[in-house]
Amino acid sequence: MSSYLVALVVADYTCIDNKIDMPVSKTSLNSSTCARSNAFNQLKLASNSSISLVVYFEKYFNTKYPFPKLDHIGSPDFAYGAMEK
């Protein structure tokens, strides 16, 4: 995994937790989608989108999702603007 795909986040976030039934691996995947409390109203859309996408790609590639969980964090803009810089 590329190092820029991993982030350490320390903040007061609100999260939605889900269990996703994976179609290829026939297992359930734990997923969390987190954001600042003032962006809580956007969490449901983000969570539903990530569930749809991970299920779609597991079916499309006919390959088991390789990790034990899937976490998403919505963060405000920061000094660099992107993790690639």
What is the percentage of the chain residues whose pLDDT exceeds 70? 81
**Residue 36 is part of which domain span?**
15-73
Q: What is the pTM of this model?
A: 0.75
Question: DSSP assignment, residue 57?
Answer: H
Has residue 7 been placed in a domain? no
Which is more confident, 81 or 60? 60
Has residue 33 been placed in a domain? yes
Helices (H) and strands (E) in the chain — how many of each? 1, 3
Has residue 47 been placed in a domain? yes
Has residue 8 been placed in a domain? no
Cβ atoms 72, 46 nearer than 8 A: yes
Has residue 38 been placed in a domain? yes
Total number of domains constituting the chain: 1
Cβ atoms 36, 13 nearer than 8 A: yes
